[in-house]
Chains A and B, each alone.
Chain A
Amino acid sequence: MANLISFTDKGLFCEAGNFYIDPWQPVERALITHAHSDHAKYGNRFYLCHKFAKPILQLRLGHNHYQTVEWNETIFMNGVKVSFHPAGHIIGSSQIRLEYQNEVWVVSGDYKREDDGISGKFEPVKCNVFITESTFGLPIFQWKPQQEIYSDIINWITKNKENGKASILIAYSLGKSQRVLQAIKETTQTIFAHGAIYNMQQTFIDAGWKLNPVVRITPETPKELLKETVVIAPPGAEGTSWMKKFYPYSIGVCSGWMQVRGNARRRNVDAGFALSDHADWNSLITTVKETGAEKVFVTHGFQAAFSRYLNEKNVAISAEVKTQFGDEDEETNSPLEIKNEEAENV
């Protein structure tokens, strides 16, 4: 029997159901795990996603033919039973479960195990074959509980205020920003944000999410107003002239990569907070075990290492798969891409 999902140059393809999951080239029918740019691409004729993901897809990809589902709701596509399950990665992120001729496959998309209160609580899904991400698939990546990181961030903000500095937190506009904003909402009355983050936050608020509004920074925002404040900005704004307005300031980056000192130092930032929306090493292993899968395909990240480890430790039969999913950190932060965000939103 052919595999339920095959790995093609357009993406993960389910032949029986005649659809793709997170394709990286335009196709007829695309099932989308979540709205990050490396998983949800432009140009498909039809999109199926979780209902929370739709407003973000609209913001990013414009008007398309979208169909939405609830978590655990079952639909059939060409006889393949399809359902979405919470992945805990960002708002609306899902794992996708396929069942056909008594075989169950699950595509994890990106996921994290700790419940951040807005992205949905991750649920392990039993399956025969599990396709997992491995962004942080090395044992050096073991996250501290989020509460500890949140208090580190809050202490840092407090210290900056004492020293008369503004605190600029660098976080991805989709996902990390909403999480950070939730974490620090008690700290300060007003939180300022870069246009990209303002747009994203507003999209969620318009869609009915009870999130705190942020104040958009425009060229008219007086410098005096920004003294000793908290500002959320996307990685693209880091090191640009846009930041001059906040001087004196301190920069803190929220990213799993900050676990390694060298990364924080290389980026010349004042503080790194290892706050990640991906599963750490132990969570990846726990998850693989909890799915009960006998076969595990490992995609984007440290796939070679994680896959080899699963094989050697007899956790599952595993193989690594080349995909075009990058870590969204690396993709959106590619120095070769031109940063329009700044120009558009300042």
Chain B
Amino acid sequence: MNNHVAIEKSNEISGLQMFAELVTELSSSTKTNDKLQSLVDYFATAPDADKVWVIAIFSGRRPRRAVNSRLMREWCLEIIGIPDWLFTECHSTVGDFSETLALLLSEVEVINRQNENLCFYLEKFIQIEKENESVKKKFIVESWQQMNSKEKFVFNKLITGSFRVGVSQKTIVNALAKTVDLSSSVIAHRISGNWDPTTTSFHELLGESTSLADFSKPYPFYLAYAIDDVVENLGEPDLWQAEWKWDGIRGQMIKRNKELFVWSRGEELMTEKFPEYFILKDLLPDGIVLDGEIIPALDGKPLPFAVLQRRIGRKNISKKQLQEAPICFFAYDLLEYNYEDWREKPLTERRQKLEEIISSFQNKSIQISEKINFNSWDELAALRKTSRDKNSEGIMLKRKHSVYKTGRKRGDWWKWKIDPLTIDCVMVYAAKGSGRRSNLYTDYTFAVKDGEELITFTKAYSGLTDKEFAQIDYFVKRNSIEKFGPVRTVKPELVFEIAFEGIAASNRHKSGVALRFPRMNRWRKDKTVDEINTLDDLKQMLKLYGK
């Protein structure tokens, strides 16, 4: 009898352990359905307080970093007694800092298992943030001594980094929809927006009749797939509305209860970053939600993305910046009007109302994103070729009677982007990737020719298949000229076609240019290093397309 009780006790698993198992399952399963099942199981059994945190963490809300990684590294070295350089070596092999710590600490004996829940640790992080170093050290070191390897890993992750478990918001919403009695769209709506996991209970967040109204909440965005067929197959051109696809930040502008909120597609509340928009609080009617692009523009003409990047990087915005690169909102769509959800109405109706609203007042901080008039697909194709001159990435096609859907959907909305710019170049440096490519050389630096010299001009990480990465990794390991730190200098032999969306002048790069969205388009096995492009070619492109 006694025996039985003892077994039950030891089988009790803590909230942290459940979360650690969840993360392990999510990161090792390769199929969306398996991930969904893991989440459903988790939400069915985990403590409510932990669930709130899991929703928060997987949607990018985490407590501020309580301890910096330099200190965690120091304490780890102290416990296990290895030199600093050896840590560096381990880190470059593992690729992930939190995992490196967890592996190095795996021999640390569990002396005092506490079986705490996930929320205990997260609340503790907030508590100790302002404390001095010795308090932090005591907490971290003692926590390590209470955890198994998987728990140490998630614990370190919670402090230092983001979880890349490959779970989309959609999967989380679907998993929750199987646990609570709410529809997916209501859940998506409730878990987006500005709520605080420390003060919100699971019931407040996802209870059936919640009184905790948050009038800042954006709607889930409707996203388009790239068109994978010839446009002619979309049918009659007059069933479709065409717009320019702008290269800014997709966002929602909300005015409710006489307050203004600007959300990015990444669900970041960005209102304070753009003082240009403040005046819209007075100009827009109340109870309205607009979908559009946050983009710098002068006299109604969009500026390159690089301008926006410089702007976002700054804490304080100068008068000069406000003059040189004022931010505008290019409105695409109307999602809510007069506090009424308009998403089920057809696009034409939404668009008409939108035009009516925007034209009722004149302000340079907002404008309607113009429609492209066209009568045939050929005509539109010709117009598409002029995209780059307008700082546009191409064309958006929206079926005129389409409703505003949730998430990425096929059928009614398509993006028809312009072909990227490309350049042939040679790989000269390689470094190991991170995360799932941690033991492979997958991060490359490329060079073009300048006379006899090779001039590096960009890095790229993506665009190849796993098989190609493995082959290149094999080449790198056998053709290294030099190794410093994690980077290998590689025999300049492998030629790649790099595709990119834009080019800008840069004094941070030796080549004098910076590329936007560079990626490996093709491995040019048919080309030798003598046949690659030159620095002059790059400069020519800068002249043509750089602004």
Contacts and interface: CB of A to CB of B under 8 A. Distances in A.
A198 to B, nearest CB: 27
Given A138-B86, A260-B439, A302-B89, A265 B466 contact: no
Among A141, A142, A265, A272, chain B packs the most CB atoms within 10 A around the CB of: A265
Contacts of B89: 138, 302, 305
Interface in A256-285: 257, 259-266, 268-272, 282
Contact of B30 (A259, A270, A335): A270
B436 A262 contact: yes
A262 B96 contact: yes
Given A305-B89, A335-B470, A260 B438 contact: yes
A309 interface: yes
Interface in A105-153: 138-142
B234 to A, nearest CB: 35
A138 B89 CA distance: 8
Among B29, B86, B466, B471: residue with most chain A CB under 10 A: B86
A70 interface: no
B94 to A, nearest CB: 5
Interface stretch (B101-109, B298-306, B389-397, B404-412): B101-109
A282 B90 CA distance: 15
A266 B99 contact: no
B28 A266 contact: no
A28 interface: no
Nearest to B93: A138
A101 to B, nearest CB: 37
A269 B93 CA distance: 20
A293 B363 CA distance: 82
A266 B30 contact: no
A305 to B, nearest CB: 5
Interface in B61-112: 80, 82-83, 85-86, 89-90, 93-96, 99-100, 103-104, 106-107
Nearest to B96: A262
Interface string B427-440: 00000001111111
A222 to B, nearest CB: 26
A140 B93 contact: yes
A271 B103 contact: no
Given A140-B94, A336-B471, A263 B86 contact: no
Contacts of B30: 268-270
Given A309-B86, A335-B471, A262 B28 contact: no
17 contacts: A138-B93, A139-B90, A139-B104, A140-B94, A141-B103, A260-B95, A260-B438, A261-B28, A262-B95, A262-B96, A262-B437, A263-B439, A266-B438, A272-B28, A302-B89, A309-B86, A336-B474
Interface of A: 138-142, 257, 259-266, 268-272, 282, 302, 305, 308-309, 312, 334-336
Given A260-B439, A269-B30, 11 more contacts: A139-B86, A140-B93, A140-B100, A142-B103, A260-B99, A262-B434, A262-B435, A262-B438, A266-B436, A272-B28, A335-B467
Interface of B: 27-30, 80, 82-83, 85-86, 89-90, 93-96, 99-100, 103-104, 106-107, 434-440, 466-467, 470-471, 474
